[in-house]
Structure 1
Amino acid sequence: MTRSNAIQLIHIAKGQLALDDDTYRSLLGAVVPGKSSCREMTIIELQNVIQAMEAKGFKSKPLRRSKRRMSAPSDVSLKIRAIWRMMFKEGFIRDGSDIALDRFVQRQTRIRNGGAGVSSLEWLRGDAEANFLESLKQWHIRAMREAMLAHRVRLPEIRLPVTKAGTMTQSAALTLTQPEGG
């Protein structure tokens, strides 16, 4: 907590406890002898004042966040959220919250846009949303492969399509000839 935040909180407590100016200043003087103004106090002294006000019945309320979603989420954004939460449950990411996802979206879109990123998943549209989904899926696949290899679990074999004659289809042959990652 910064010094200015502590002072703001003390003034909120003063109002909530309905303290007149004389009572308020005597409380400050009782908690921090010789000082009757928040401006004169250090951060530790301000925190002591807050604790004294809490003992008198002050209850601080956490900031309320406004509802974020203005419109119904798209199918793609629902898939993105599902993969994000799955990666959290599997231990590949530390924070599975929507706020963490929005921060990740902003970092990734900033890189792609070469500057300012899109600050929320809800604002991604069209190709940007589809590209983000694909990159998240690829990251998830890489993380799963690494985890499987670390636990010495055998990776699943790739089954390529074969014609009735027993030969590989043209698309399967192309898949085998393309270098990995390209």
Structure 2
Amino acid sequence: MRNAMLAKVHIARKELALDEETYRAILKRITGQDSAKGLRDHQLDQVLTEFRRLGWKPAKAALPAPAARDPQSQMIRGLWIELGKAGQLVDRSEKALRAWIENQVGKSDLRFCDAAQKRQLIEQLKRWSARVGIDVG
């Protein structure tokens, strides 16, 4: 948490276009210290509160991209989940699925795969499932 707060202090400083002297004066006034490096969490919070008072608006966290919901993508996820339930995956997460997809077809997400690439992924997952004794029908 401390590192994230420290990063926010530096981002706010940059976005407020504070020169070195002004930045250090604010730190000194708020915390009694002229460097953010040694500040405790509550002091960093005080500095961030002051930056907000001065007009800094923290950026909102980016929402994750929506997952592909077409039938082929759902089938790929379903097969992936079945392999995970059968203990065939070290990591069953969406992130691991995306890494596998990139390794197989060179795309970073199902949203970027065309129908032929999705068919290829489905066939690979079906063959994998058959090898390990999972009946996918």
Same fold (TM over 0.5): yes
Contact 2:101 2:108 in 1 (8 A): yes
Q: Do the aligned partners of residues 62 and 54 (structure 1) sit closer, same or farther apart at CA in structure 2, a change above 3 Å counting?
A: farther
Of residues 13, 25, 28, the one that matches 1:25 is: 28
Of residues 109, 116, 123, the one that matches 2:112 is: 123
| 2:8 equivalent in structure 1 | 9
Contact 1:101 1:121 in 2 (8 A): no
Q: Do the aligned partners of residues 29 and 97 (structure 1) sit closer, same or farther apart at CA in structure 2, a change above 3 Å counting?
A: same
* CA root-mean-square deviation: 4.0
Higher relative contact order structure (alpha carbons within 8 Å, sequence separation ≥ 6): 2
- The answer to whether structure 1 residue 83 and structure 2 residue 84 are counterparts is no
How far apart, in 1, do the equivalents of 2:65 and 2:70 lie?
Answer: 17
TM-score (norm 2): 0.59
- The runs of 5 or more residues in structure 2 that have no matched partner are 14-21, 50-57
Q: Which has the larger radius of gyration?
A: 1
- The runs of 5 or more residues in structure 1 that have no matched partner are 15-19, 31-35, 39-45, 110-116, 146-182
SS class of match (1:92): coil
Q: Deviations over 1:88-125 (max 9, x none)?
A: 2332213322222112101111xxxxxxx111112222
Q: Do the aligned partners of residues 24 and 106 (structure 1) sit closer, same or farther apart at CA in structure 2, a change above 3 Å counting?
A: same
Task: Work out the number of aligned pairs and report it.
Answer: 118
